[in-house]
Chains A and B, each alone.
Chain A
Amino acid sequence: MNRSMRPLLATVAIFLVAYAAAVFQFPGLLSTRVLGNFLTDNAFLGITAVGMTFVIISGGIDLSVGAVIGFTGVLVAVLISSFGLHPLVAFAIAFVVAALFGAAMGLAIHYLEVPAFIVTLAGMFLARGGASVITQDSVPINNEFYTMISSLYFRLPGGGRLSFVGLLMIAVFVFGAILAHRTRFGSYVYALGGNATSASLMGVPVARTTVQIYMLSSVLACLAGIVFSLYTSAGYPLAAVGVELDAIGAVVIGGTLLTGGYGFVFGTFVGVMLLGLVQTYIIFDGTLSSWWTKIVIGILLFLFIVLQRLVFAASARGDRSSETA
C-alpha cells in the first residue's frame, strides 16, 4: 500500500469512530438534517481548504485566504449595494481581482525567491487592510438574486436540506480531486512539493505552476468569500479572521504532509468534516464553551503530525533495510 494513504485512512477511521461515538451519545446527530447543515456551515471553509491543499502539496503555504474571504465579502457587498451591480457581475469582478492577487503572490514567491510564508503574510495584511479601507462596517446585501440562491436547496430524505452552497462545496472538492490526481497540472503540483530542483530539471514549468497554484488558492478563497456572504447576507471586513489556520488544520488532519509532496483532496474533505463534527458535537452538548473546539482541533492536529512523522519515519527505515538487504 502506498504509504501516503495511511494518514488518510487514519483520518477516515477517526472520523467514523468519532461520529459513531457522537451519535451514540446524541442520536439526533444521525440525521440528514444535521448532515445537510454540516455541509452548509462548512462550505466556505471546505472551498478554501481545497485551494490550501494544492498550496501545501506544492510545499508552500497561503496565509492570505482568510483575508481574501473578508475582502471578497466586502467588495461584493459594496458592488451590489452601493453600485447596484448585478451579483453575477460583482462575482466576476471579485474573481478577476482575486486571480490577479494570487498571481502577484505567485510571481513574488517564484521570481523574488521570497518564502511563501512571508509573501502570503504580506498578502493577508494587504487584503485585510484593503477590506477595511473599503468600509469599516458590515454592509448588508439586499438583493433578490442573492436571497434566491442563498435559499436554494434540495430536500433530502429525512427532512434534511442540501443547500446550494453545500452542493457547491462538494462540486469544488470533486473538481479539486480531478485536478490534483488526473491532470498534468496536478502532477506538477506534487512534483514541486517533492523536490523543486528535480522538478525543474525534469521540465516542470515551475514558474507557471507556482503562479497557477496561488491563483487557484486565491480564486477559491474568493469563491469561499462569496459563499460566506451568501451565508451571512452581508460583507464585513473582519469576517473569516483566522480561517486560513482552520483551512491549514483541515488539510493537515486530512493527511496532507505540511512539507509538501503528499496529500489527497478527499482527505481534506474528511478533515473539514471532522472539524465540523467537533463543532456540532460541542453545540449539541451545550455545556461546553465553544473554545473547546479549538482545543480539540489542537489535539487532533498534534496527533496527526505525530502520526505522519511515525508513518514516514517507519517507511524510510523500511526503505533502507530493504536496500541493504
Chain B
Amino acid sequence: MRLGGRDVAETAFRMEARGVSKIFGTHKALDTVDFGLLAGEVHALLGENGAGKSTLIKILTGAYQPDGGEVLVDGTPVHLDSPLHAQSFGIGTVYQEVNLLPNRSVAENLFLGHQPTRFGLVDRKRMNKDARVLLKRYGLEIDPASELGSHSVAVQQIVAIARAVQLSGKVLILDEPTASLDRDEVQRLFEVVASLKRDGLAIVFITHFLDQVFALADRVTILRNGKLVDTSRLSDLTRTELVRKMLGKDIAFSGSTSLEAQRPVTDVLLEFKNYGRKRSVRPFTLTIHKGEVIGVAGLLGSGRTEMARVMFGIDPSDEGSVTLNGKPISIRAATDAIAHGFGFCPEDRKADGIFGDLSVRENIVIALQGKLGWFRALNRDEQLDLAGQFGESMDIRAASLDMPVKLLSGGNQQKVILARWLATDPAFLILDEPTRGIDVGAHAEIVRTINRLRDDGMALVVISSEIDEVVAYSSRVVVMRDREMVAELRGEDISPAVIVQAIATHGEATSEETAA
C-alpha cells in the first residue's frame, strides 16, 4: 500500500478504504483506491472534476456502497448503508451547502432528533443550555434560541461541525466547507478544525484551495480519473509537484503555442477594470483585443467560471468598470451582455446550455430571437435557413434539424450551443470548458472553430482545464487561483510548465494578499 511517511504504516487507521471501486454503467468512477485516515490528522483529498473525490466521500459516508473493496472503521470491516448508519459508527459529514435547517433555532439544529425531553416533551430550557455550553467550545457566543438562518454562513458551518462532532465524534468529513466563506471566516473555521484535530478527531478535508491545503492538512491523497495517484505528507511535497499530480502533467510536457494566436493585435474591444464580485471573484483587470483568444487556466473552483459569469452579467459585478470600444457600459444582467454583443457557452451543457427537448433548429435560433425581442419573430423559413447554414458550417451531425437536441452527442450539442451564439453575430464570446466530455473528433472541430473565429476578428475568452489545449489556441493566458487572477502570460510564457507553475505557486499576488 502506498502511504506517506514510514511511521504511518504501523499506526492503526481510524478509518480505511481498501481497494474500493465504484462502477457507474461502464464508467469506473473509482478504481481500487486505498485511503487511510489517522486519528488526529487533517487529511486533504484532492482531485479535479471526475477524479473520483466525491464518489470516495460518498462511499465513506455510506451514501454509496462500493462495488469492490472494503471500508474499515478501527480495523473492523463495516457495511455502511446510509449517512445515518455511518453516523452510528462515528462518521460525521459537513457539506459545502450547509445541510441544516435555517428556519429552526440554533439549539434545535444541534440536537434535532436527540432533543432532551421531560415527560415526553422537549425540554427547551435544557436544550438551549446544552447548546450554549457546546457552542462555547467552538468559540461561538450566540443565542441558541435564535433562528439559524439569521447567522452568517460561517457560523452555520461551525454549527454544522458542532452537530456532526457531537453525534459522531470519530471521523469528520469536511466537503468543501470553505467554498462560500470569506477570509476571516475561513480563519475561524480553521481554528475550530485545528482544535478538533488536537482532540484526536480524524478529519478529511476537501477543498480546491491549495493555500488552505498547505495551511491545514498534514497529509494529502490525490485522485485522478478514479485512480489513486499518491498519498503523502504535505511536508514532502512542493506546490508544483502537487498540481502536476492533480493535472497528470508529470510526464514530459507536450503542446506548442500557435503562431497564429500570437499575431500582434491593436484594436481594444473590452476593458475590464478592477472588475469583481464579492464572494465570487476578486477584482481583475483585463484588456481584450479584437481577434484575440484569452485562455483561462486554473484548477476547478479557482474562480474561472465565476469570472465568466461576472463578465456576462449572470452574477453582476459589484466593483469596477468595463468599457466596450472605449465607451463605458454597464452589464447588470445577461440580457445587457447579449445586447452588447456578448455570447456565453456555459460549463454545464446539460443544465445551463441546451434546451434538451427543443429541436436543433429552435436551440440555434433562441439567442438570436431573444436578442430581437418579441415583436420580430423569425418565421419558420428564416429559422430553418439559419439553422441549416450553421448546421453546415459547424458540421453539426443530426439526422434532422427538427430532432430534439438531447438526442445528439455531447460534441454536437456543444456545436449547437456555439452556433446559437454565432447566429447572434457576437463581438465577444465566452466559452467555459467547451471541450469537456466530447469525443476527439468533435474536440478538434471545436478548437478549429475557435481558431477560425479568432482569425475573423472575434474576441474570445476560453476557459479550459486542458492545459495543452489552452496553450494551442491562446493569444494570452490568464491564470486563476483562489478566486483571483494571479497571472497574465503572453508570448513564450505560454507553455504548460509556466502555467502549472503559476497555478501552483505563491506569486507576488499572494504576498500582497497576506500583506493586505
A: which residues have CB within 8 A of B?
2-4, 178, 182-184, 186-188, 190-191, 193-195, 197-199, 201-204, 261-262, 315, 319, 322-324
Contact = CB atoms under 8 A, between A and B. Distances in A.
Contacts of B84: 203
B100 A187 contact: no
Contact of B113 (A2, A184, A190, A322): A184
A198 B101 contact: yes
A3 B105 CA distance: 12
Contact of A201 (B99, B146, B153, B279): B99
A311 B83 CA distance: 36
B104 A187 contact: yes
Contact of A202 (B100, B103, B278, B279): B100
A186 B99 CA distance: 19
30 contacts: A2-B147, A3-B150, A4-B147, A182-B121, A183-B121, A183-B122, A184-B113, A186-B122, A187-B112, A190-B101, A191-B101, A191-B104, A191-B112, A193-B103, A194-B103, A197-B99, A198-B100, A201-B83, A201-B99, A202-B113, A203-B84, A203-B87, A204-B112, A261-B101, A261-B103, A262-B103, A319-B149, A323-B152, A323-B153, A324-B278
Contacts of A201: 83, 99
Interface string B64-91: 0000000000000000000110010000
A182 B122 contact: yes
Contacts of A197: 99
Interface string B95-128: 0000111111000110011010100111010000
Contacts of A186: 122
Interface of B: 83-84, 87, 99-104, 108-109, 112-113, 115, 117, 120-122, 124, 146-147, 149-150, 152-153, 163, 278-279
Contacts of A262: 103
A199 B104 CA distance: 11
Contacts of A315: 150
Given A2-B147, A3-B147, A203-B87, A195 B101 contact: yes
Nearest to A195: B101
Contact of B112 (A3, A193, A202): A202
Name A's interface SS: helix
Q: Which 5 A-B pairs have the closest CB atoms?
A: A261-B103, A194-B103, A194-B101, A198-B99, A182-B121
A324 B149 CA distance: 15
Contacts of B278: 324
Given A203-B87, A319-B150, A324-B278, A184 B122 contact: yes
Which of A182, A202, A203 is the most central at the interface, judged by chain B CB atoms within 10 Å of its CB? A202
A141 B275 CA distance: 77
Contacts of B101: 190-191, 194-195, 198-199, 202, 261
A197 B87 CA distance: 16
Contacts of A190: 101, 103-104
Given A198-B100, A198-B101, A322-B152, A203 B120 contact: no
Contact of B117 (A184, A195, A202): A184
Nearest to B114: A203
A260 B100 CA distance: 15
A199 B100 CA distance: 7
A195 B115 CA distance: 19
Nearest to A179: B121
Contacts of A187: 104, 108, 112, 115, 122
A202 B99 contact: yes
B416 to A, nearest CB: 32
B103 A203 contact: no
A134 to B, nearest CB: 38
Given A183-B122, A187-B122, A202-B113, A4 B150 contact: no
A184 B115 contact: yes
A145 B508 CA distance: 90
Nearest to A201: B99
Nearest to A315: B150
Contacts of B103: 4, 190, 193-194, 261-262
Nearest to B155: A323
A262 B101 CA distance: 11
Which of B101, B117, B124 is the most central at the interface, judged by chain A CB atoms within 10 Å of its CB? B101
Nearest to A198: B99
Contact of A194 (B102, B113, B122, B163): B102
Nearest to A261: B103
Contacts of A322: 152
Contacts of B153: 323
